Amino acid sequence: MIRFLDLHSINARQQGAILAAITRVLDSGQYLQGNELAQFEIAFGRYCGASHCVGVGSGLDALSLTLQAWIQLGLVQPGDEVIVPGNTFIATILAITHSALRPVLVDPDPATHNLGVEGISGAISGRTRVILPVHLYGRMADMDAIMTLSRKHDLLVLEDAAQAHGAKINGRMAGNWGHAAAFSFYPAKNLGSLGDAGAVTTSDASLADMVRLLGNYGAREKYKSSVSGCNSRMDEIQAAVLREKLQSLDDETAHRRKIARIYGESITLPGLKLPEQIASHAWHLYVVQCRDRDRLRADLDSAGIETMIHYPVPPHLQEVYADSDLANTGLAVTEQLSNEVMSLPIGSHLDDGDVHRVCRVLNSLAT
Ligand SMILES: *Cc1c(COP(=O)(O)O)cnc(C)c1O
């Protein structure tokens, strides 16, 4: 059986360091807002090239708290529009609707599966305040062009970098392009904790300060709340584990790139569209496209190869938005992708032999 993902095997390779990190926290007696979080924030901010990093409870919270912080700072008004790709994980959209903002869903560029500047330009209205590109699958959106467009229209840019730890364009990391970026450290992400965790990176000190305030009951000092906040903090155990795992992130990414290269060079099945091999990609997912996706998936499953679909139902067709305007958005590319994409196994739980086996099995199937 070749598993899509094997978190136990991935974390077992660093078991000693992880156990030492957890013991360090246990012994410290400080389980929230201590030195581990402070050190991780410095290290991850530096890794991304952003001057501030704020640890929060999850990737969803990183997105929501950034939008809410901009509202608190008066840069965004409730009811303003946020331009966002239609083909993303539901959390990206929930963050917008939870923040009393209006998502304007845009079909992605079919070649990159990411938001393109043409799509964004066509969606800009008098109420647009934010562009929220998602670096889907670990492939960065065209940030240079998006930032140029944002300057022209005086818009804020929030990167959803939940899948893109370590991705970079021209040496500039994901998380250091927009006015802010949201990361998730959900266990299955490229940099994963042992539970829920997330972070906001930004070079705007007042935004970082407001995100931290909102995630801590709106209180800068204990028992003195100045804004209507919530409780969303990265705990010391997650921070300590992430500090250890950050040190091997580049090796993990290199391993993913190698797997992607093998897939790219060895898969020859006609009718199967492979992702473009580009240097900036962090390969959170290796996503292929095929008209006969469901049958191919079943054949792979019979051959002992596990695959996944990211994502089978796009946000605008989810029940949660059935009664909203979103349900009526026609998103032909997004809907086609949800029927045709399939993610092959990728990650450090696989060796070259496993990857070549996936290629051999795929090449032996007919579409
Ligand atoms: C995982 C993910 C999120 C949400 O992160 P959580 O930590 O699970 O809340 C948001 N956006 C994208 C694109 C994701 O993949």
The pLDDT mean for the chain works out to 97
Question: 3-state class of 104 per DSSP?
Answer: strand
Residue whose entry in the numeric block shows the structure tokens 């972070």: 199
Give the list of residues 6+ apart from residue 74 with CB closer than 8 angstroms, or none: none
Checking if the pLDDT of 367 tops 70, the result is no
The CA distance from 233 to 240, in Å, is 14
Name the phi and psi angles at 150, rounded to 5. Answer: -65, -35
Ligand 1 mean position, distance from CA 188 (Å): 10
Q: What is the CA radius of gyration of the chain?
A: 20
pLDDT in tens, 113-162: 999 999 999 999 999 999 999 999 999 999 999 999 999 999 999 999 99
pLDDT in tens, 248-266: 999 999 999 999 999 999 9
Ligand 1 mean position, distance from CA 366 (Å): 34
Closest ligand 1 atom, CA of 184? 7
Give the homologous superfamily in CATH for domain 249-364: Aspartate Aminotransferase, domain 1 (3.90.1150.10)
pLDDT in tens, 160-214: 999 999 999 999 999 999 999 999 999 999 999 999 999 999 999 999 999 999 9
**CATH architecture designation of domain 7-246:** 3-Layer(aba) Sandwich (3.40)
Amino acid 366: pLDDT: 78
Residue 139 tokens, joined: 């492939």
- Domain positions in the chain are 7-246, 249-364
Name the phi and psi angles at 53, rounded to 5. Answer: -140, 130
The CA distance from 176 to 44, in Å, is 11
Ligand 1 mean position, distance from CA 332 (Å): 23
Model pTM?
A: 0.98
**What is the rounded average pLDDT of the residues 215-233?**
95
Mutation test of ligand 1: which of 96, 163, 200 has the most ligand atoms closer than 8 Å to its C-beta?
163
